[in-house]
Amino acid sequence: MIIKRKKTKQAEGVEEQQTVPVQQEDKVVESLDTEEEKDIDLFNLDNIDFKQRQERRRGDRRRGFRRIDDRNLISRAKEEAKAIKEAAAKEGYQEGLQAAKDDLDSVKTAIQEFFNAKQEVYDNIAPDILEISFDIAKKIIKKETIEHPEIILDNIKDIMKGLSKEETKITVKVNPAQAPMLKQDLPEVSSSLGLEAKIYIIPDESIMEGGCILTTTNGVIDATIESQLAVISEVLKEI
């Protein structure tokens, strides 16, 4: 009986020993199943993450491209704006330069027209101006000769200095108002110049005071005020 019990115990031990592995196998199977499920789930999550990452990368690339395009657009816009500004400045400078040239041409034209008009006016009034000037000069000379009668004597003396010493006769025509003074003083002037010619003083109403006409054997010397002014007039007309 004791032996049987031992056997029973052994059998029970065997049974117990046999049941333990079964339980372990179940756990192993369960763990394997769990690992397979986990692997499958992880694989699926990886797929999902991969797709999401791909989409994100594509989105990032698109946004990156858009940012690059935006920067390119901004850069091109700045360059175009700069080019437009430079072109406008250059065009404005050229327009300003052309306007200045046009203004200068207008000024030149106006100046030329002014000088043409001035010349035309001068040509029209010059004779009148000369005539008026000579009338004024005559009045001044007449006044001077009245106040200083020795002027006519000095003028005749200057003419006699150029005469030949061989002259034998000198006729002097003067205004009647100055004839008496010359009859008194002129012979002495002639002698002081070394002239031995006989002097004749002839009054002439047509001769303005201060002027005279000398006649010698060699010719006539017109020293009247009118003739002298006429010479001056011709010179002025040629200028």
46-99 residue pLDDT tens: 444 556 666 666 655 665 555 656 666 677 777 777 777 777 677 776 777 777
- Residue 176 per-residue DSSP state: G
Residue with tokens 């992880």: 42
The tokens for 1 are 């009986």
Torsion angles phi and psi, residue 28, rounded to 5? -65, -45
Task: Look at residue 206 and give its three-state secondary structure.
Answer: coil
Structural domain boundaries, residue 115 = 74-147
Q: Is 47 inside a domain boundary?
A: no
Query: pLDDT value at position 130?
Result: 74
Beginning with the edge strand found earlier in the chain, give each strand of the sheet holding 219-222 in spatial order.
Answer: 198-203, 169-174, 212-216, 219-222
Based on the domain organization, do 223 and 176 belong to the same domain? yes
Strand partners, 221: 214
Question: In residues, how long is the chain?
Answer: 239
By CB neighbour count within 10 A (0-12 exposed, 13-18 middle, 19+ buried), where does 101 fall? exposed
Q: Is the pLDDT of residue 190 over 80?
A: yes
Of the pLDDT bands very low, low, confident and very high (cuts 50, 70, 90), residue 42 is very low
Mean predicted lDDT score pLDDT of the chain: 74
Based on the domain organization, do 164 and 205 belong to the same domain? yes
Q: Is 101 inside a domain boundary?
A: yes
Based on the domain organization, do 217 and 161 belong to the same domain? yes
Based on the domain organization, do 156 and 227 belong to the same domain? yes
Based on the domain organization, do 78 and 157 belong to the same domain? no
Based on the domain organization, do 162 and 230 belong to the same domain? yes
Instruction: Look at residues 121, 147, 173 and tell me which one is the last residue of a structural domain.
Output: 147
**Domain count across the chain:** 2
Q: Is 135 inside a domain boundary?
A: yes
Interval 201-211 mean pLDDT: 92
User: How many Å apart are CA 30 and CA 40, to the nearest integer?
Assistant: 15
Q: Is the pLDDT of residue 175 over 80?
A: yes
Q: Is 221 inside a domain boundary?
A: yes
Distance of CA 188 to the CA centre of its chain: 73
